Structure 1
Amino acid sequence: MKVVLYGATGKSGAVILKELVDRGHTVVAAARKPENVDKLPNVTAVQDDLTDLATTTSIIQGADAVVSALGPPPENTDALLAPSALLVSAIEQAGGPRLIVVGGAGSLFVAPGVTLHESGYLPAPYLPISATHVQLLESIKKSSIDWTYFSPAGFFEPGERTGKFRLGKDDLIADATGTSRISFEDYAIALVDELEKPRHHKARFTIGY
């Protein structure tokens, strides 16, 4: 499978890149600074800052899927929205390769009708990126492309590749102690699983231990 990966130099993106390569996929890693992309077999690094529709369309033309692991600067989380919108437009222009977005946990439900973002549980520093991802999900839902929004657990961090996790739809997954957590490594397994055997077309799903 040929996959175009945006955000390949980021924390989760670099792990997703390795998982794709380890499972035999060909990857085009698009980044603002392609020289920072990990040097791995079957990876071509290209420059794209997601500001020119024609450039992005040409990069994803002929791909089987696009993965967006984009992360905005902490001081301006809404900077994620415009590049994501351009990526959706480019996918439309390119004839519709599938898009999987590395999402956020804020829009997951923690009680009937109450999202994590609305619950008051999130520490203040996490509220801006949570709000941005709520907007991003709503925007993608309105698009015509074949999209999948993959929400991680509440704590999304480096860890082990265990291959043991639970998947869900719209409710936050937590363990018996109430902790909601997933490693980048196990998240990457589930994301590539979804690429190889699609189950969530025009839908969101989530993961946790």
Structure 2
Amino acid sequence: MKIAVLGATGWIGSTIKQEALTRGHQVIAISRTTNNADDENNVETRTLDLLSQESMTNAVQGADVVIAAIGGRAKGNHDIVPNTARRLLEELPACGINRLLWVGGAGSLEVAPGVALIDTPEFPAEYQPEAKAQGEALALFKASESTLNWVFVSPAAEIFPGERTGQYRTGGDQLLIDNDGNSRVSVQDFAVALIDEAEKNTYKKERIGIAY
């Protein structure tokens, strides 16, 4: 399978890229600038500046599925999140791409009926803009009439650098917690879940949550 990773040089994106390569997939590593570190077997590097109006066609051409792992924290531009979601919904079908896995946030997951994690007093203020942007993106996906088969994949409340166990649980709109009341997943196992879904194509036009 040829998997295009949008945001391939980021923390989550680069982990997804490595998981895909480990399984023998070909990867199109898409980032704003060329990264020589991606000069390896089964990796084709392509550039795309999401802040420009350039077409996505050249960046995603030939991919079987696109995995988007983008965010605006580094440059303080959180509008890039919903704006990119809107563009992908419109442009990927025109490029002949039918599947998108979107790396979302945990803030919009429900901790109680009608109560999102972002609305709880414990939610860190520094992550509010990022979580709101992801919530806007999710709303765009849910309201869209695009033919694109999208899956919005939310990590646990805490995603951290750890180890690859290959173990995880999949939920829906509710925040998954373990027996100790924690919602956690390593970035490595989050990447496992994403590539599993890329291979199995289990979910269609819905949000899923990943946690231990």
Q: Which residue of 2 aligns with 1:82?
A: 83
| 1:73–1:79 CA contact under 8 A, matched in 2 | no
CA drift of 1:38 comes to 3.2
- Read off the aligned partner of 1:108 and give its amino acid letter: L
Q: How does 1:1-209 map to 2 (within 5 A)?
A: 1-35=1-35, 37-50=37-50, 51-54=52-55, 56-74=56-74, 75-143=76-144, 144=146, 145-209=148-212
- Runs (5+) with no aligned partner, structure 2: none
CA drift of 1:36 comes to 5.3
- Runs (5+) with no aligned partner, structure 1: none
| 2:151–2:205 CA contact under 8 A, matched in 1 | yes
Q: Report the TM-score, using the length of structure 2 for normalisation.
A: 0.92
CA drift of 1:197 comes to 0.4
CA drift of 1:37 comes to 4.7
CA drift of 1:178 comes to 1.5
Deviation string 1:115-161 (CA, Å, 9 cap, x unpaired) is 11122220111111111100011112233111000000001121110
- Distance of 1:125 and 1:29 partners within structure 2: 29
Count matched residues: 208
| 2:156–2:209 CA contact under 8 A, matched in 1 | yes
Deviation string 1:23-82 (CA, Å, 9 cap, x unpaired) is 11111111112225533320011111122353x123223321001011213533223222
Q: Secondary structure at the match of 1:34?
A: coil
Q: Report the TM-score, using the length of structure 1 for normalisation.
A: 0.93
- Distance of 2:97 and 2:41 partners within structure 1: 26
> Cα RMSD over matched residues?
1.5
CA drift of 1:13 comes to 0.6
- Read off the aligned partner of 1:44 and give its amino acid letter: E
Q: Quick check: 56-65 or 173-182, which moved more?
A: 56-65
- Distance of 1:151 and 1:33 partners within structure 2: 26
